[in-house]
A and B are shown apart, each in its own frame.
Chain A
Amino acid sequence: MGKTIRVAGLAMALVLGLAGVVYAAPSEIRIGVALEPPVLDPTAGAAEAIDIVVYQNVFEGLTQIDQNGAVQPDLAESWTISADGLTYTFKLQADVTFHDGTSFDADDVKYSFDRIKAPDSLNAHKEFFADIESVTVVDPLTVEIKLAKPSGQFLFDIGRGDAVIVAPESSANNATDPIGTGPFSFVRWDKGSRVVLERYEPYWGKKAALSKATYVFISDTAAMTNALLAGDIDGTNNFSAEALDVFKADPRFKILVGTTEGETLLSTNNKKPPFDNLKVRQAMAHAIDRKALIDGVTYGYGVPIGSHFAPHHPYYVDLTNTYPYDPELSKALLAEAGYPDGFSATLKLPPVAYARIGGQIIASQFAAIGIKLELINVEWAQWLEDVYANHDFDLTIVSHVEPFDIGNYANPNYYFGYDNPDFQALIETLNGTTDEVKRKVLAIEAQTILAQDAVNGYLFELPQIGVWNAKIEGQWQNAPIEGVVLKDVHWVD
Chain B
Amino acid sequence: MTLFVLRRLLGFAVTLLLAAAVIFFLLDLLPGDPAQFILGINATPENVAQLRAQLGLDAPAWQRLFIWIWGMLQGDFGQSYTQNAPVADLIGERLWVTMPLAILAMAIAIVVGLPLGILAARRRGKLLDTGIMVLAQTGIAIPNFWFGMLLALLFAVTLRWLPPGGFTSWSEDPAAAMRALVLPSLALALPQASILARVMRTALVDVQGQDFIRTARAKGMTMGEAVWRHGVRNALLPVLTVLGLQFAYLVAGTIIVENVFYLPGLGRLIFTAISQRDLILVRGATIVLIVAVTATMLVIDLLYALVDPRLREGEQR
Contact = CB atoms under 8 A, between A and B. Distances in A.
Nearest to A125: B42
Given A227-B262, A388-B36, 5 more contacts: A8-B155, A18-B173, A46-B42, A190-B264, A379-B32
B299 interface: no
A218 B165 contact: yes
A218 B163 CA distance: 14
A15 B161 contact: yes
Contact of A122 (B31, B32, B51): B51
Given A4-B108, A223-B261, A126 B44 contact: yes
Q: For A45, A226, A380, which residue has the most chain B Cβ atoms within 10 angstroms?
A: A226
B152 A226 contact: yes
Interface in B237-261: 259-261
Interface residues of A, number: 55
Nearest to A225: B157
A386 B42 CA distance: 14
A232 B164 contact: yes
Contacts of B42: 46, 124-125, 127
A422 interface: no
Contacts, number: 176
Interface stretch (B21-29, B121-129, B268-276): B268-276
B286 interface: no
Given A127-B42, A351-B275, A15 B160 contact: yes
A438 interface: no
Nearest to B31: A382
B277 interface: yes
Contact of A217 (B33, B163, B182, B262): B262
10 nearest A-B residue pairs (beta carbon): A46-B40, A192-B264, A381-B277, A381-B32, A226-B164, A193-B264, A38-B82, A381-B37, A124-B40, A175-B84
Contacts of A291: none
A425 interface: no
Given A230-B160, A382-B32, A46 B166 contact: no
Nearest to A192: B264
B38 interface: yes
B167 interface: yes
A381 B34 contact: yes
A22 interface: yes
Given A126-B44, A384-B41, A389-B36, A22 B176 contact: yes
B210 to A, nearest CB: 30
A381 B153 contact: no
A147 interface: no
Q: For B83, B90, B263, which residue has the most chain A Cβ atoms within 10 angstroms?
A: B83
A194 interface: yes
B40 A47 contact: yes
17 contacts: A3-B108, A18-B173, A38-B83, A38-B84, A38-B276, A124-B40, A125-B42, A192-B268, A193-B263, A220-B262, A223-B259, A226-B156, A226-B157, A227-B166, A230-B156, A379-B274, A382-B32
Interface string B146-181: 000100110111001111111101000101101100
A245 interface: no
A193 B179 CA distance: 15
A193 B167 contact: yes
Given A223-B165, A227-B164, A227-B262, A11 B31 contact: no
A120 interface: yes
B112 A1 contact: yes
B37 A120 contact: no
Contacts of B51: 122
Nearest to B93: A191
Interface string B81-102: 0111100001001100100000
A385 B164 contact: no
Contacts of B44: 126-127
Interface in B60-80: none
Given A351-B275, A381-B276, A384-B37, A122 B84 contact: no
A14 B182 CA distance: 13
B83 to A, nearest CB: 5
B30 to A, nearest CB: 9
B50 interface: yes
Interface in B256-299: 259-265, 268-269, 272, 274-277
Interface string A331-363: 000000000000000000001000000000000
Given A38-B276, A381-B32, A386-B31, A11 B162 contact: yes
A71 interface: no
A39 interface: yes
Contacts of A388: 36, 41
A382 B32 CA distance: 5
A22 to B, nearest CB: 7
Contacts of B260: 220, 222-223
A380 B186 contact: no
Contact of B276 (A11, A120, A380, A389): A380
Q: For B40, B160, B164, B169, which residue has the most chain A Cβ atoms within 10 angstroms?
A: B164
A134 interface: no
Contacts of B186: 4
A243 interface: no
B43 interface: yes
A402 to B, nearest CB: 8
Contacts of A216: 166, 262
A7 interface: yes
B39 interface: yes
Contacts of A121: 47
Contact of A15 (B43, B83, B162): B162
Contacts of A381: 32-34, 36-37, 275-277
Contact of B157 (A8, A39, A230): A230
B111 interface: yes
B165 A46 contact: no
A192 B94 contact: yes
Contact of B275 (A14, A190, A217, A379): A379
Contacts of B166: 193-194, 216, 218, 227, 232
Interface string A84-123: 0000000000000000000000000000000000001110
A385 B33 contact: yes
A68 interface: no
Contacts of A482: none
A219 interface: yes
A25 interface: no
Contacts of B165: 218, 223, 226-227, 232
Interface in A1-41: 1, 3-4, 7-8, 11-12, 14-15, 18, 21-22, 36, 38-39
A176 interface: yes
A292 interface: no
Given A380-B275, A381-B34, A15 B40 contact: no
Q: For B41, B112, B263, which residue has the most chain A Cβ atoms within 10 angstroms?
A: B41
A229 interface: yes
Contacts of A1: 112
Interface string A175-189: 110000000000000
